Structure 1
């Protein structure tokens, strides 16, 4: 503290230290150490980040409202409004958390049973934690900085918790706190939280990577040291003043890179031979001069250069990134930045408070934090808890791509974003009127994934009637960001209720026809928890009720015939992809009459000598069956089986229609078993037998096919053609 705080400020922090130490006197943590050690370590870490005096005081006091006999008014009288607001903010976040500091507090009763706790994170509670963190960050980001430091110390002492709580805390840390530290630009906190979480969640993988790193440590350090000396000499010869040093590797980042290599069929062993150095210079012009020196001496690797100085990240990060082939043709990653940029890269938004303490107004910080306020507005329309979490992770926790407008402005979007996301990021009206897009001058589909460096031109039409409901259908991949989805939903919400009801009824009937499901509107509304049928239709029409949820409920929640499950016999295993309940060792096969696929509601019928035949719950043969005692409960297990499905497509006859249909099927990576076509006047009726993994893939295929020019309807037929192979699963259960 003495390095950057005045004597008066240091005195304030010491006063908070004494107050907290007395308030926590006699309290213990589960580890057995004095409880005050926790707030002290939290504050010490924030002091390393050079946070202001009020933040350090609040860190020392952050548990006194929750765990001590101290009131809000008493704290305000003693330390003022700013410190008290910070402490109160941390207290509220702790109460909202799934895993909080109280889990480390020594219980006062002997009946405490930590293993009786739930061993998974509840989605609703996790969503509430996220919401409160966002709201708090928008008001004062220092509260979240304290919580990050709080979580960091808790992770360092996590061994005091029982195994179930360790796993829950590690998962929450990896899914929420570490990515949040990354988004705030606090690199040091991010990698420490990731490594500690990874060690708890996958200890074997952690040990394996650690052993491999240690095995090559001496060789790697020697090579990096040699490269550091060579680069220093080259910079000096070019009259560029800068320091060079090796950049450490972190275990979780190596694990993630190994996963990416595996997905790309690359040799994962290569990641242990990647080297990294960092060059720190005085001024921005020196960054580019150093880059020139490096690229002149060694050959740069293609597609490995990023200029985050000209295009800073939203978390304030600035640096030049490149990769070169150095001595012995070894790839070396190089980062080049100024000292000020390095300060921000290490400490992120925390660096803002150092500038503020010095009396400077950090306008860049204020501008960059607007992403958070925008996100809060978008998340109000995110829907339920699970959808909120997923959309938050998409927009905030994923890596970003940087693309350009035709005028050269830089737009930041999550990896996997589309031209439609780009259009909505430019302006809501641009998104609503979007009819097409060009990427680097070439016309592309609106669900085309954009990449770093792309230049995107959005084509709009004044006569466009607004967005399509397909744009928020996750399986079609048009809108990836929660901001775009929220704006689309807002548009539909503003339409007249009568129009939404009519639109929703059309969606409902189309899905029944697609999936060959026989269920009336009233039963469907009850299954989806709508008291009034029109409310269900209106929700479908404005996008509040997604087609994915509708299909999921209709396929898995169809009425099932009453089944008496036999007692005293084991539940069969999922080896064949179908679990038969309470019938012991029996063969199973798919019924040809109704041809169920993964995701359909199913029952089993015990045949005479042919095991159990699997039928859809609405199969006419099952509904008409008098021998109900032969009907048994079955369920889908884990399987990679592909099921044959016969699809009928009706459309206006034209040249190229069949080719367009088969092209769509091929693009969805669906195999065609056979195909037949008949013409009636100006209409074609095409029957396809395709191999499908389940109802989710089938629904996506329907939507793609309906978008083909001239298609009138797409529907599923109950049985497959006689000469097509059935998906038969035969297994001897244990």
Structure 2
């Protein structure tokens, strides 16, 4: 069970000079106003805000965000008021708690309209301060981890909302680790039989892969070291929902997924990334059409990495991703890694290209009155299938799904 000290230790390990006093103060306040409240599991409600706050601390976010994690349910579920939060913790924390509360308070009888209005409020909150959404994502992660004590219908409803709204937002913010965890939890709840079947099949195949992973990792380490490339190498298995989506997308059975195990090379510099790529292609023959250079041409959410698939030591296909440490942090935690909040700066500043898509959605919500139309339109933005083209001048342009040569 997590305790306050776990949050404090995590914060101080990253920022030794952090304002720990405000975190202690928020904990005491939260414990007081939530006293006597229980979760569906019968556990003290305090367990939830502590876990949310720890997730935010684990993302290396600032003290104000971590404090908001502790306080995020106080106004909605207790007698505490925003004015009280403002007086005790300042304007910024009060605005963050208020933003989270407004998203949580969407109550509309029609399910589709409720989802649309929830999404609209989240988009507006992102436009004011991206940290509101980071708190909501941390809140949703812990709720998804602890759904066991809810009724099956309630679990399904929460999982469906998470699948349609929260996982896509995490993806669009570049938070791949969050996206994968949410998608796996949703898949497990919405398709339990298929989840168990795939998890069992993947586990059985992976059980015999330890020696293969060790052999490939050792060979790569040796070759990279000989070439003077300083890099860390890890082997990993695809997440279950990722496997299922690939099966659907390519219309294949599990037996025909050959790159279940992937490898990741984390180098120090961009130059070393390309040197590592050359070493990989000298070791094993590349699979035609399976190389992507997201370093030269980043994704819309600023994800950068080299992706290649090769025929490995035993002729099996294996995917290898190559990136720098900075790119890896952005790939895992996206905007949480990118975001370094400066007082008075909003995410909608013209100079921040990471949020161009957000500004476009903010403009859309002003024009559209029908909540369902807004939901459908925003889903296109949250599930981008980018098309990249080169102009005659050599510039790279990103076009939406369905674009034609005329565009």
**TM-score, normalising length from structure 2?**
0.91
**Secondary structure at 1:412 match in 2:** strand
2:402 match? 417
SS in 2 for 1:158: coil
Contact 1:261 1:268 in 2 (8 A): no
Structure 2 equivalent of residue 338 of structure 1: 324
Matched residues in 1 for 2:31 and 2:389: separation?
Answer: 51
Whether the aligned pair in 2 keeps the contact of 1:155 and 1:193 (CA below 8 Å) is: yes
CA distance in 2, matches of 1:75, 1:150: 19
1:183-582 matches, within 5 Å, as 183-262=172-251, 266-271=252-257, 273-353=259-339, 355-356=340-341, 366-382=352-368, 384-414=370-400, 416-419=401-404, 437=405, 458=407
User: For 2:12, which of 2, 25, 31 is the aligned residue?
Assistant: 2
Give CA-to-partner distance per residue, 1:59-95, whole Å, 9 cap, x none. Answer: 1000111111112111101000011100000000001
Paired position in structure 1 for 2:118: 129
Distance 1:340 1:8 in 2: 23
CA RMSD of superposed structures (Å): 2.2
Corresponding residue for residue 155 of structure 2:
166
**Which has the larger share of strand?**
1
Contact 2:238 2:260 in 1 (8 A): no
CA distance in 2, matches of 1:379, 1:197: 27
- TM-score normalised by structure 1 residue count: 0.52
Instruction: Tell me if 1:47 matches 2:36.
Output: no
Alignment match, 2:3: none
- 1:80-127 Cα deviation digits (max 9, x unpaired): 0011100000000001267xxxxxxxxxxxxxxxxxxx9xx7111111
Aligned length, in residue pairs: 394
Q: Distance in 2 between matches of 1:61 and 1:21?
A: 10
Residue 657 of structure 1: aligned partner: none
SS of structure 2 residue aligned to 1:317: coil
User: Structure 2 residue aligned with 1:146, among 135, 148, 173?
Assistant: 135
CA distance in 1, matches of 2:96, 2:311: 49
> Greater CA deviation, 312-321 or 403-412?
403-412
Which of the numbers 137, 151, 155 marks the counterpart of 2:144? 155
Whole-angstrom CA distance in 1 between matches of 2:253 and 2:178: 30
1:238-290 per-position Cα deviation (integer Å, ceiling 9, x unaligned): 2211111112321100010111232xxx4541216532100001111111111
Structure possessing the higher relative contact order (Cα contacts under 8 Å, 6 or more residues apart): 2
Q: Deviations over 1:454-501 (max 9, x none)?
A: xxxx5xxxxxxxxxxxxxxxxxxxxxxxxxxxxxxxxxxxxxxxxxxx
Cα-to-partner distance string for 1:374-409 (whole Å, 9 max, x where unaligned): 222134445633322222111222343322222222
2: CA distance, partners of 1:130 / 1:361: 19
Given that residues 127 and 346 in structure 2 are in contact (C-alpha distance below 8 angstroms), is that contact kept between their aligned partners in structure 1? no
Establish whether residue 75 from structure 1 lines up as the match of residue 85 from structure 2. Answer: yes
Distance in 1 of aligned mates of 2:366 and 2:321: 38
| Partners of 2:116 and 2:372 within 8 A in 1 | yes
Which ranges in structure 2 are unaligned for 5 or more consecutive residues?
1-10
Q: Give unpaired runs (5+ residues) of structure 1.
A: 99-117, 420-436, 438-445, 447-457, 459-734
Please list the CA deviations of residues 136-184 of structure 1 after superposition, one character each: whole Å capped at 9, or x if unmatched.
1111110001001101111111112111111111111111111110111
- Mapped to 2, the partners of 1:56 and 1:315 lie a distance apart of 24
Computing the radius of gyration over CA atoms, which structure comes out larger, 1 or 2? 1
Q: In 2, are the aligned partners of 1:155 and 1:170 still within 8 Å (CA)?
A: yes
- 8 A Cα contact 1:316 1:365, kept in partner: no
Deviation, structure 1 residue 417: 2.4
2:39 counterpart SS class? coil
The aligned residue for residue 709 of structure 1 is none
For 1:302 and 1:356, locate their aligned partners in 2 and report how far apart those are by CA, in whole Å. 43
Cα distance in 2 for partners of 1:123, 1:72 equals: 29
